[in-house]
Structure 1
Amino acid sequence: MRLFVSEGAPGSLPVLAAAGRAQGREELLISTVGPEECVVPFLTRPKVPVLQLDSGNYLFSTSAICRYFFLLSGWEQDDLTNQWLEWEATELQKSW
């Protein structure tokens, strides 16, 4: 797996925290890219953070990447975790 993040990109912080929780479960390469670098070939605009899975598929939603890392770590998500991830996706990201 390869995680693409950008310095200063607000979505990078929760993804890096979730990646730290799943550390050691699978090999993960973290790459820092510029905010204008397009790492997902089928997107027309640059988007980070992005997780490229070993299958070649991409996750480019902060919430989806965090959920994936939580699953890898074996951490059971509760309602509060889901509420925070939904709030981040629907409210906080709008302000970015």
Structure 2
Amino acid sequence: MTARIYQRPKNAMQSGRARTDEWVLEFEQSEARHADPLMGWTGSSDTQAQVLLTFPTKEEAKAYAEKYGIFARVHATPPKSLKIQAYADNFR
């Protein structure tokens, strides 16, 4: 069972930063998805892929994975960069 640990990115549709300080432990899929022959929906019998666990810190997420024997890869948070410009810069 493998998982990945990452910090949630900021939602592109809103300006707020709610829940961006949480760390998420998400299980990777262990089997391929398949199309349902009757309805055409895509699904699988892997229930672990539906589980998202949130933690306040990266260390707590790593400790949880170690406690339960889950191999987890930590994805680093990309640095936040601001592009500061004035309205007048549009007319240069």
TM-score normalised over the length of structure 2 = 0.28
Which structure has more strand as a fraction of its residues?
2
TM-score normalised over the length of structure 1 = 0.27
Which structure has more helix as a fraction of its residues?
1
